[in-house]
């Protein structure tokens, strides 16, 4: 479910503030500041100070809907504990066995829809909350070669215990963004820099599993005027820590492993195998006040993810 993390990266880009350290004395900006009414939310605080300096602020409150798909590898944080009933391994059972963590491999895929509500509290500080729904899978493969106490002894060497886990989950989380700008040495368009942090917690509905995600990332990009609309690109480097405890039951009845075991109850703590990743994203703001936006992001380096979103600011 690492998805929450890559998801938390995208959720901040639907509103990007322009903020520079050098005052802009442009007369048009001054006129706009004096004639534009305050937002109904009275946000962001200190907006008058920012517009006096010529900074263009986004509409402060927004809602965004995202679709996210992610593929990643995981590792076992501890030994894989299984309780077997039926078959040779569960004879006169249930019997307990322990598979060493290094003999366990895990792959995962998640697809989700996320709804985010965000607000710019200050011209450079955004906060957001999110709720979402996920359909995911974890495919666990545990080798029996080094399991102690097996009645089949060396005959079990080479046997792999496959446990495909399918689940749905609901999640909620909070996040924050700090944004600023620095002047570019190679063009008139400044660079926007953002620091992002997020915490997300999810509860699966079909397995006994809790998923906790922590995210920290830095994003650098530029924003361009495009026929009255805004087009931005961003390159991000992120650290994502995903932990998941999974317990449940799996039946091998009717499979080729049924003579060996009929039902297995398992307990394992998972973590993402790699915690560092990069992503490239684009954001397009359009409409009479640039109140609509489209967003797309592709993640690469240590895992792949794709995020597509659409939002509106009010």
Full set of structural domains in the chain with CATH? 3-73+113-134+168-249+271-313 (2.40.128)
SS3 content of the chain, % helix, strand, coil (to 5): 10, 60, 30
CB atoms < 10 A from the CB of 36, how many?
Answer: 11
Q: Does the structure show a pLDDT above 80 at 4?
A: no
**pLDDT tens-digit map of 130-186:** 999 999 999 999 999 999 999 988 888 999 999 999 999 999 999 999 999 998 888
What is the residue whose two structure tokens read 């895990």?
106
The H or E element spanning position 309 is strand 304-313
Mean pLDDT of the chain: 87
- Tell me, what's the pLDDT at 89? 93
Average pLDDT over residues 115-121: 97
Distances from the Cα of 60 to the Cαs of 3, 15, 124, 234, in angstroms?
A: 26, 8, 11, 21
Alpha carbons 260 and 112: distance in angstroms, whole number: 36
- Residue 41: φ, ψ to 5°: -85, -10
Cα angle vertex 40, ends 36, 46, to 5°? 65
pLDDT value at residue 5:
38
Nearest-CA neighbor of 136 among 107, 163, 114, 109? 109
Q: What stretch of H or E contains 39?
A: none
Q: pLDDT value at position 187?
A: 80
Summarised one tens digit per residue, pLDDT across range 8-56 is: 434 443 333 333 333 333 444 444 444 456 788 889 998 888 878 777 7
Which residue has tokens 């993810």? 305
| Alpha-helical segments (H) within 107-200 | none
pLDDT in tens, 191-225: 999 999 999 999 988 777 889 999 999 999 999 99
């Amino acid at each position: 479910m690492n998805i929450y993390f890559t998801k938390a990266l995208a959720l901040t880009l639907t509103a990007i503030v322009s903020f520079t350290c050098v005052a802009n004395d442009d007369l048009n900006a001054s006129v706009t500041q004096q004639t534009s009414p305050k937002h109904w939310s009275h946000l962001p605080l200190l907006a008058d100070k920012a517009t006096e300096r010529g900074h263009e602020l986004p509409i402060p409150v927004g809602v965004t809907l995202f679709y996210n798909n992610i593929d990643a590898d995981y590792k076992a944080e501890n030994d894989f504990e299984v309780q077997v009933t039926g078959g040779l391994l569960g004879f006169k059972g249930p019997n307990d066995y322990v598979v060493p963590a290094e003999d366990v491999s895990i792959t995962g895929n998640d697809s989700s829809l996320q709804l985010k509500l965000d607000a710019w509290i200050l011209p450079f500080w955004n906060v957001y909350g999110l709720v979402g729904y996920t359909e995911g899978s974890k495919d666990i493969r545990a080798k029996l070669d080094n399991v102690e106490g097996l009645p089949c002894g060396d005959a079990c060497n080479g046997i792999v215990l496959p446990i495909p886990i399918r689940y749905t989950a609901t999640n909620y989380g909070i996040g924050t963004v700090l944004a600023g700008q620095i002047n570019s040495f190679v063009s008139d368009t400044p660079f926007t820099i953002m620091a992002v942090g997020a915490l997300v917690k999810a509860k699966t509905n079909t397995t006994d599993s809790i998923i906790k995600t922590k995210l920290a990332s830095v994003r650098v990009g530029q924003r361009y005027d495009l026929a009255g609309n805004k087009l931005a690109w961003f390159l991000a480097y992120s650290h994502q820590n995903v932990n998941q405890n999974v317990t449940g039951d799996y039946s091998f009845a009717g499979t080729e492993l049924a003579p060996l075991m009929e039902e297995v109850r398992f307990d394992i703590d998972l973590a993402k195998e790699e915690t560092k990743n990069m992503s490239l994203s684009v954001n397009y703001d359009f409409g009479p006040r640039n109140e609509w936006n489209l967003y797309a992001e592709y993640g690469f380096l240590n895992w792949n993810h794709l995020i597509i979103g659409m939002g509106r600011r009010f």
